[in-house]
Amino acid sequence: MGDVNLSVTLAGVALKNPVIPASGTFGYGREYAALYDLNILGAFSWKGTTAQPCDGNPPPRIAETPAGMLNAIGLQNPGIDAVIREEVPNIARIFQGPVIANVGGFTVEEYAENCRKLDAVEQCKILEINISCPNVHAGGRNFGTDAKAAAEVTAAVRRVTRKPVFMKLTPNVSDIAEIARACADAGADGLCLINTLLGMRIDLKTRRPVLANRTGGLSGPTIFPVALRMVWDVYEAVRLPIIGCGGVASAEDVAEMMLAGASAVEIGAANLRDPYLCKRIVEELPEVCKRLGAERIADMTGAAHE
């Protein structure tokens, strides 16, 4: 068996491999660029960015759990204008590949305005729309927990950009396939799933929740089986490329996600434990593919369904 072809495409965007550090765990690339050459990566998804600067939630906002972690960072970011002005030029210096812009918003109009501004940013090849944000016009209910609201955001963003639109879905729903279909029908080019599961811990000494926000997003290896099942379900429900995400921590996990239906895979919480992990996964993927008899990694997408 010859060299393994690791290249994949996401809605027409070519990636040299399917490995993508996930939003929220990679910032805007600065810190990791000091550790290794980011150009080994297929892409990276930058930190969730909103219209206005956001300080995030009060501390404590991270807590360990068995086989994972809880976070309630609260979309801390410098705002879209500062990111375009300061971070985008820096990203171009440290990474030459396609960048995925993770976009947050508290109203439909804010999502659309952010995406309109990003449409002119050449290196941002994909817009990843985080619909796990609270809808301020719906009493704080997340856009992604309601099919109608998810479709509304998808359609609004689709109207203002030529770039591929990938909707990042929350797992905190009874039927993720329903949300996926609503996004597909509204014009999404792809989907990213899953975001974190809702969880909490209580400090036995204080008898109070560990996180100041009370609840936080559960991530890490503990959620991998849930993420895998949801990628499988969504692959069966829609014909759109999927970025699989949730608890991925090894090259074998990447292969499993792709067999379930992912075209590319994001690695999140595991970067915080081992900042070199994505680099190592890229290096180990060819051997895993050879073991599985795959000469082209793209052929593995959805292969477990056949």
145-158: pLDDT as tens digits = 999 999 999 999 99
Residue 202 has pLDDT above 80, yes or no: yes
User: What pLDDT score was predicted for residue 2?
Assistant: 66
The two beta strands, 13-15 and 8-10, are: antiparallel
Query: Is the bond into 21 cis (omega within 30 degrees of 0)?
Result: no
Q: How far is CA 286 from the centre of its chain?
A: 23
Spatial separation of the C-alpha atoms in residues 231 and 295, rounded to whole Å:
23
Polymer length of the chain:
306
Q: Does residue 12 sit in helix, strand or coil?
A: coil
User: What pLDDT score was predicted for residue 52?
Assistant: 96
Backbone angles phi, psi at 227, to 5 degrees: -60, -45
Backbone angles phi, psi at 277, to 5 degrees: -60, -45
End-to-end, the C-alpha distance of the chain in Å comes to: 23
Task: State pLDDT tens for residues 9-28.
Answer: 999 999 999 999 999 999 99
Residue 253 has pLDDT above 70, yes or no: yes
State percent of the chain over pLDDT 70: 99
User: What pLDDT score was predicted for residue 240?
Assistant: 98
Q: In the structure, what pLDDT confidence band is assigned to residue 222 with cuts at 50, 70 and 90?
A: very high
Residue 53 has pLDDT above 60, yes or no: yes
Handedness of CA 52, 84, 153, 160 (dihedral sign): positive
pTM higher than 0.85, yes or no?
Answer: yes
Q: Does residue 260 sit in helix, strand or coil?
A: helix
If we measure between CA atoms, which residue out of 240, 125, 224, 223 comes closest to residue 179? 240
Q: Does residue 115 sit in helix, strand or coil?
A: helix
Spatial separation of the C-alpha atoms in residues 63 and 79, rounded to whole Å:
26
If we measure between CA atoms, which residue out of 235, 297, 245, 247 comes closest to residue 266? 245
Domain ranges of the chain: 8-57+76-198+219-305
Catalytic positions, written as ranges:
133
Q: Average pLDDT of 96-121? A: 97
Q: How far is CA 39 from the centre of its chain?
A: 19
Spatial separation of the C-alpha atoms in residues 124 and 116, rounded to whole Å:
12
* Assigned superfamily of 8-57+76-198+219-305: Aldolase class I (3.20.20.70)
